[in-house]
């Protein structure tokens, strides 16, 4: 018998949310239903990719898509995740706003919404209250289904009281879609103005730079919610199913070292060993040299020492870890 639905939230979860399990709202694990009407714009971005069969392909269109993927993935990982969610470095108010707008261009809603949901995830990771746990709802729901529910619109301000005091962030959080519109308009304008020597068109730049690139950023980001809690290796015995995965780290500019992150989430650096590639951290470190960001939170030495001493275990579930411990005890 599955008794997980009878588990009570921890004191941290209850304190952070201000609600009890079973009450309607942000932490209610029982009311998730996909709202297909409200999801039309989100699904339309996916459907727009089909237009590639009409507009064709060119080297500049593909290059545009790749560059916009990398730029927007950086804004998501550096600002939405490491800055707004975990405050792992500091920056000026101007670059704080630039980072927010850059993240909005990825069309993953606003920075305050994103931070609230991510902080909630860390309080409830892989429990019944976790919005996007593969253990709870399955892979597809944890990957993208949760994003299409009525509940995803809710921003619990208790998690983001720090950012609710910043008026320009509240504005961009509400009108996040403006960044997407400006990006799309810019691509159409650039395609129309480019000389014929570039062998592209407004429609081609729009389809590749907006639709295809945006969908790639969507699902690149989502892999951390889904795949990074299923596939990979565990260095630290966290209370969730987080994994370290090199492929996902490459796709997301360093977010794939997810077990590291769930063990110590306050650091601006997620690759704890020298060979764990973390492109986002490298860029943030370079920006710190010129004073754009500063006070990058390091990984404490005792955590690094633990990382050096721990082996990577290809265990796939909490049950397997329990079985492994029992075997060790029996031996």
In a domain, 98, yes or no: yes
Q: Predicted confidence band at 312 (pLDDT cuts at 50, 70, 90)?
A: low
pLDDT at residue 142, as a whole number: 81
The predicted-structure confidence for 108-129, as pLDDT tens digits, reads as follows: 999 999 999 999 888 888 877 7
The string of pLDDT tens digits covering residues 173-219 is 999 999 999 999 999 999 988 888 788 899 999 999 999 999 999 99
Structure tokens at 200: 């592209």
Specify if 239 maps to a domain: yes
Confidence category of residue 13, pLDDT binned at 50, 70, 90? very low
Average pLDDT, the chain: 84
Residue 14 lies in a domain: no
Least confident of 80-84, 196-200, 225-229, 324-328: 324-328
User: Please, are residues 142 and 130 in contact by the beta-carbon 8 Å criterion?
Assistant: no
Total domain count, the chain: 1
Higher pLDDT, residue 152 or 312: 152
Give domain status of residue 95, yes or no.
yes
**Which residue range is the domain that position 324 belongs to?**
32-330
Confidence at 330, pLDDT banded by 50, 70, 90? very low
Which of residues 135 and 64 earns the better pLDDT score? 64
> Does 171 map to a domain?
yes
Question: Among candidates 253, 275, 255, which has minimal Cα distance to 267?
Answer: 255
Which whole number is the average pLDDT over 11-19? 35
Measure Cα distances from 147 to 34, 218, 225 in Å. 8, 11, 11
Average pLDDT over every residue of 2-17: 35
Does residue 3 belong to any structural domain of this protein?
Answer: no
| Residue 2 forms part of a structural domain | no
207 found inside a domain: yes
């Amino acid at each position: 018998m599955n008794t997980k639905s009878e588990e009570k939230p921890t004191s941290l979860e209850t304190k952070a949310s201000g609600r009890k399990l079973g009450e309607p709202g942000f932490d209610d694990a029982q009311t998730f239903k996909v709202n297909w009407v409200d999801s039309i714009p989100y699904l339309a971005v996916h459907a727009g990719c089909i237009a590639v069969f009409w507009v064709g392909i060119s080297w500049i269109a593909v290059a545009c898509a790749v560059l916009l993927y990398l730029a927007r993935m950086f804004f998501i990982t550096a600002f939405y995740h490491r800055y707004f969610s975990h405050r792992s470095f500091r920056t000026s108010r101007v670059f704080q706003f630039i980072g927010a707008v850059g993240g909005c261009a990825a069309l993953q809603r606003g920075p305050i919404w994103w931070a609230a949901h991510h902080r909630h995830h860390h309080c409830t990771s892989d429990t019944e209250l976790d919005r996007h746990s593969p253990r709870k709802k399955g892979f597809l729901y944890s990957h993208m289904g949760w994003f299409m529910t009525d509940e995803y619109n809710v921003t619990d301000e208790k998690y983001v009281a720090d950012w609710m005091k910043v008026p320009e962030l509240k504005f961009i959080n509400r009108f996040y879609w403006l960044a997407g519109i400006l990006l799309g308009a810019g691509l159409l304008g650039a395609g129309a103005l480019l000389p014929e020597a570039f062998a592209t068109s407004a429609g081609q730049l729009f389809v590749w730079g907006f639709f295809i690139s945006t969908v790639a950023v969507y699902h690149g980001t989502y892999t951390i919610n889904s795949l990074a809690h299923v596939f990979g290796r565990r260095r630290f015995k966290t209370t969730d199913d987080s994994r370290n995965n090199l492929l996902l780290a490459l796709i997301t500019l360093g977010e794939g070292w997810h077990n590291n992150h769930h063990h110590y989430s306050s650091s601006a650096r997620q690759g704890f060993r020298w060979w764990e590639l973390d492109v986002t951290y490298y860029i943030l470190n370079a920006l710190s040299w010129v004073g754009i960001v500063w006070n990058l939170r390091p990984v404490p030495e005792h955590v690094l020492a633990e990382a050096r001493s721990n082996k990577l275990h290809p265990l796939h579930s909490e049950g397997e870890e329990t079985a492994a411990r029992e075997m060790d005890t029996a031996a």
